Amino acid sequence: QVQLVESGGGVVQPGRSLRLSCAASGFTLSTYGMYWVRQAPGKGLEWLTSISYDGSYIYYADSVKGRFTISRENSKNTLYLQMNSLRTEDTAVYYCAKCRVTYDVDDAFDIWGQGTMVTVSS
Amino acid sequence: DIQMTQSPSSLSASVGDRVTITCRASQGIGNCFAWYQQKSGKVPKVLIYAASTLQSGVPSRFSGSGSGTDFTLTISSLQPEDVATYYCQKCDSAPLTFGGGTKVEIK
């Protein structure tokens, strides 16, 4: 069964850091581009970042560029999102998602994790 | 960056009605365009990819069309289980922007 499971969310103070993980199972992570998407409470979906299957191509939304870092450890079937200098407006459910096709990063997202909540508050 | 304008932001229709949601890009985009359904409290699910291709397992009452700047999601006969928020997304190149969403309810 193809599955993504996020972890690492929680409550953090503004300015602090947090690292999210996304454990993949049921497919070969090393052949798929991956993504992080967030959804603030009561709001829509916001794409944050993409990483190609081998990590050679990485893209960020302007809202997180310079603060968030996506990475992957294919040997551990895990995707990461390092979030630094967190702001109250970063409060959201964070989802990891998988690219629909292999060896690409520009396509639809066919599998999503269940999401992990990040709350940035003093 | 290309902006995605989705309309309407909400709609209410009767069971069996034909429902149409549109998404307009501020510039022409490639064929990589997707539609997602998110039911309340649930994870988004892809319905349509490549603008008009139905994802496996999605009911055939859902269809997508369009190219360039204008894209459409149609539900041919609205069912109670279709109550959800629908999002469009450009996926041709980063940023992979989502539309603002359309909340669909039953009248």
Residues A120, A111, A66, B30, CA torsion sign? negative
Task: Determine the residue type at A103.
Answer: Y
Chain A residues lying within 8 Å of B36, measured CB to CB? 45, 109
Q: For residue B62, give both structure tokens.
A: 């859902």
- Taking an 8 Å cut-off on Cβ atoms, the answer to whether A112 and B44 are in contact is yes
Dihedral of CA atoms A113, A119, B2, B7 in degrees, nearest 10, equals 80
- By Cβ distance, the residue of A45, A106, A114 closest to B91 is A106
Q: Which residues pair with A92 in a beta bridge?
A: A118
pLDDT above 70: percentage of residues in chain A: 100
Distances (CA, A) of B85 to A26, A80, A99, B42, B43: 28, 28, 21, 10, 11
Instruction: Work out whether strand A92-102 and strand A45-51 pair parallel, antiparallel, or are unpaired.
Output: unpaired
Find residue A24's DSSP bridge partners: A4
If you average pLDDT over residues A3-13, what whole number do you get? Answer: 98
For the segment A51-108, what is each residue's pLDDT rounded down to a tens digit? Answer: 999 999 999 999 999 999 999 999 999 999 999 999 999 999 999 999 999 999 999 9
How far apart (Å, rounded) are the C-alpha atoms in residues A34 and B52?
Answer: 23
Q: Which residues 29-68 of B are in CB contact (within 8 Å) with A?
A: 32, 34, 36, 38, 43-46, 49-50, 55
Say which amino acid occupies A115: G
- Alpha-carbon gap, residue A48 to A36, rounded angstroms: 6
Percent of chain B with pLDDT over 70: 100
> pLDDT by residue (tens digit) across B46-85?
999 999 999 999 999 999 999 999 999 999 999 999 999 9
Chain B: residue whose CA lies nearest to A60: B95
| B102 close contact with A: CB closer than 8 A | no
Residues of A within 8 A of B95 (CB-CB) are: 47, 59, 61-62
Q: What percent of chain B has pLDDT over 90?
A: 97
CB contact under 8 A, B49 and A107: yes
Q: Which residue in the set A45, A107, A115 is minimally distant from B91, CB to CB?
A: A107
pLDDT at B30: 80
Could you give the CA distance from residue B4 to residue A43 in angstroms, rounded to a whole number?
Answer: 16
- CB distance B96–A50 less than 8 Å? yes
Residue A26 scores a pLDDT above 90 = yes
Neighbour count for residue A122 (Cβ, 10 Å): 7
Phi, psi of B42 (to 5 degrees): -115, 175
Reply yes or no on whether the pLDDT at A28 is more than 90: yes
Tell me the two tokens of residue A112.
């999503």
Residue B31 has pLDDT above 90, yes or no: no
In this prediction, residue B88 carries a pLDDT of 98
- E strand segments, A74-115: 78-83, 92-102, 109-112
Phi, psi of A54 (to 5 degrees): -110, 5
